[in-house]
Homo-oligomer: A and B are copies of this chain.
Amino acid sequence: MDVTAKPPGGDCKAVGEILSRVGDKWSIQIVVALRSGPRRFNEIKRRVGGISQQMLTRTLKTLERDGMVERTVRPSTPPQVDYTLTPLGHSLSETVHQLAEWAAAHRGNIEDNRLRYDGRQV
C-alpha cells in the first residue's frame, strides 16, 4: 500500500506519529522557547530549564531534521549558533497552542477527577 496516499481513516496513525514526535518531553517546550525569535544554544537551555544539553542537542537535531527549526552557524570565536523556527515550526506551535488552551481550560477538571478517583480507590 502506498503510504503517500491518504486513506480516509488512516490519519489516526499519522496523528500518533506526530504525537509521539512532538509529545516527547522537550520538543514542545523548545518550540515554545523559539516562538519569540531566534535563540542561541545556551539561551534555549536557560529558557527551557531542566533540560540537559544532551537532550537539547538531540531534540534540536530532530526538530531540524523534521524541518521545524533551522540551524544557523556564525563562524566566530567563540562559535555562535542560532536556532530559528521555520514556518512549519510556527504552524506547529500554533496548533499546539490550541491544545495548550484546552489543557489550561480543563486542567482543574482533570485534577479534580483524579483526586476523586484516588480518594475512592484507596
Q: Which of these, B65, B88, B98, B109, contacts A106 with CB under 8 Å?
A: B88
- A98–B98 CB distance below 8 A: yes
Identify whether the interface residues of A are mostly helix, strand, loop, or mixed: helix
Q: Which of these, B66, B98, B107, contacts A110 with CB under 8 Å?
A: B66
Q: For A96, list chain B residues within 8 Å (CB).
A: 15, 99
In the assembled complex, A91 has its CB within 8 A of some CB on chain B: yes
> How many copies of this chain?
2
- B17–A103 CB distance below 8 A: yes
| Given A12-B29, A15-B103, A29-B16, CB of A113 within 8 Å of CB of B67 | yes
Using a CB-CB cutoff of 8 Å, which residues 15-31 of chain A contact chain B?
A: 15-20, 22-25, 28-29
Q: Complex formed: what's the CA distance from A4 to B108 in Å?
A: 7
Give 11 new A-B contacts, CB below 8 A, not counting A6-B104, A64-B117: A11-B104, A14-B104, A15-B103, A16-B29, A19-B28, A20-B23, A66-B113, A67-B114, A88-B110, A95-B99, A98-B99
